[in-house]
């Protein structure tokens, strides 16, 4: 898939209508550090520093869908408890989500709490129920789906085994989708794949596939035989098997397609399956063949495992990652914003001073080179944020940029002074500076320090703002004027 085609596909994501049905939960991440062993027992003492709470399970699938621009009808069941109320509130804040949350009295809403020290999970604590929903709740879910399904492009069943997707509910949804001619993609939890009979695609990981096929999988041949056995036995159209570091394998009636993993560095696999199924579903919804949609999903999964916590990807992340994987010449430096934080934090742990500068960098000239070279003298690792094409148009006018965002990023990444390039959509890089917290922030001396976006953040951290002397006679506007 070329950069131009992926741009066209991601622009169409906003037209997609996705019905997502599944087990919703809260994912709670508690961050801290372990420096000693408890005197009370041979266990580590975890010192809490920070925490984050976000939608998990099917809720994380919905988060990924809306981040990519899709409109989502979301159907799930919660308990009438504090966690359930929090879930309802968080879903209600998603403007692209139409929620259909059934509240079941006496049900426990699920929360998974993960304790993370450094870049490593040290403990996960689950508070949940595995009890199937009542017949009355199941009927409400099916009635809602049957009413909504005619307005959808694709249906995702996100089964986390918490009791919503019973045989009664699942079979009714798949039957309704087939009647309407709508594809159904399933992220399975049950080892009994007869539960998903008639689905268009089922996407197990390797362990789930082995359990469902009741056989060990040691080779490509084992995988193919297991997948085809289950497809034939349960009338499943295709199977997308996620294989961690080995990528994905798509098994179809017409053949098999293996897609190599695209992860840069694995920090956390939490939610990677949610991202993959959301992306493949969106690809199919906007007309991609299954093979191309699977490639896009593999790309997205490779991005999120480079972040801590259940993560999401943006369309810009996908476009940037595609360039980084398909071109040579230093493009390993070009990373999505969602991956940048993990790399920057690794540099900081190694004692490196991280610097940051930004700009449009349209028609690279000697003034740009001087800025980057001088900035690198003040830091060990230099991050350059470059405005996206849409951002440049807003700032410079409809005739700009002259060079596209990927061409500009490629040129920057080829420079020895540059260690990381991030393409950003916003008018200013303030959000990136807040995220990465560099210790050096550089701009040209035609700015005053108070005009430099993010200077307060860097100085509050004890860092410094560097104003680099401007090389006279060089500017993109001047070059364009000469050419005209």
Q: Is 33 helix (H, G, I), strand (E, B) or coil?
A: strand
- Longest CA–CA span in the chain (Å) reads 77
CA distance 205 to 482: 58
Q: Is the peptide bond before 114 cis (omega within 30 degrees of 0)?
A: no
Let me know: does 320 contact 409? Beta carbons within 8 Å: yes
> 387, 433 in Cβ contact below 8 A?
no
Other CB atoms closer than 10 Å to residue 51's CB: what's the count?
A: 14
Active site residue 126: no
Q: What is the DSSP string of 308-346?
A: SSS----HHHHHHHHHHHH--SSGGGB--HHHHHHHHHH
Exactly one of 274, 317, 362, 389 is catalytic; name it: 274
As given in the structure block, the two tokens for residue 27 are 């994912």
- CA dihedral (227, 232, 233, 235) in degrees, to 10, reads 110
- Asked whether the CA dihedral 447, 453, 456, 462 is positive or negative, the reply is negative
End-to-end CA distance of the chain: give it in Å, rounded. Answer: 35
Helices (H) and strands (E) in the chain, counts: 17, 18
Active-site positions read 274
């Amino acid at each position: 898939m070329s950069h131009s085609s992926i741009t066209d596909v991601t622009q169409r994501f906003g037209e997609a209508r996705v019905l997502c049905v599944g087990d919703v939960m809260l994912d709670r991440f508690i961050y801290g550090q372990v420096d000693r062993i408890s005197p009370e027992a041979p266990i580590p003492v975890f010192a809490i520093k920070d925490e984050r709470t976000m939608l998990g399970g099917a809720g994380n699938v919905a988060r990924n869908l809306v981040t990519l621009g899709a409109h989502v009808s979301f159907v799930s069941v919660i308990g009438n408890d504090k966690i359930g109320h929090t879930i309802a509130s968080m879903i209600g804040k998603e403007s692209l989500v139409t929620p259909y949350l059934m509240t079941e009295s006496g049900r426990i809403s699920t929360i998974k709490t993960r304790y993370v020290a450094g870049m490593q999970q040290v403990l996960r604590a689950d508070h949940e129920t595995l009890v199937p929903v009542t017949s009355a709740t199941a009927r409400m879910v099916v009635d809602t789906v049957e009413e909504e399904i005619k307005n959808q492009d694709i249906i995702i069943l996100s089964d986390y085994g918490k009791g919503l997707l019973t045989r009664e509910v699942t079979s009714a949804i798949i039957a309704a989708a087939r009647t309407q001619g709508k594809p159904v993609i399933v992220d399975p939890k049950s080892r009994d794949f007869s539960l998903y009979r008639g689905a268009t695609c089922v996407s197990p990981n390797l362990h789930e596939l082995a359990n469902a096929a009741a056989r060990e999988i040691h080779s490509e041949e084992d995988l193919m035989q297991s997948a085809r056995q289950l497809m034939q036995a349960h009338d499943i159209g295709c199977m997308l098997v996620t294989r961690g570091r080995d990528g994905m394998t798509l098994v179809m009636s017409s053949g098999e397609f293996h897609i190599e993993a695209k992860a840069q560095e694995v920090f956390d696999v939490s939610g990677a399956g949610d991202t993959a199924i959301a992306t493949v579903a969106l690809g199919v919804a906007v007309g991609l063949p299954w093979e191309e949609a699977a490639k896009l999903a593999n790309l997205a999964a490779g991005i999120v495992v480079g972040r801590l916590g259940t993560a999401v990807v943006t369309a810009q992340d996908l476009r940037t990652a595609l360039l980084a994987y398909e071109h040579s010449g230093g493009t390993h430096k070009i990373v999505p914003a969602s991956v940048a934080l993990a790399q920057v934090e690794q540099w900081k742990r190694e004692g490196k001073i991280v610097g940051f500068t930004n700009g449009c960098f349209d028609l690279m000239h000697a003034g740009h080179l001087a800025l980057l070279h001088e900035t690198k003298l003040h830091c060990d690792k230099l991050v350059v944020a470059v405005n996206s094409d849409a951002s440049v148009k807003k700032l410079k006018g409809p005739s700009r940029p002259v060079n596209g965002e990927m061409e500009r990023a490629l040129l920057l990444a080829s420079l020895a002074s540059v260690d990381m390039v991030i393409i950003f959509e916003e008018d200013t890089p303030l959000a990136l500076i807040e995220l990465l917290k560099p210790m050096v922030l550089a701009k040209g001396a035609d700015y005053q320090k108070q005009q430099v976006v993010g200077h307060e953040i860097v100085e509050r951290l004890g860092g410094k703002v560097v104003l680099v002397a401007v090389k006279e006679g060089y500017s993109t506007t001047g070059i364009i004027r000469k050419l005209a």
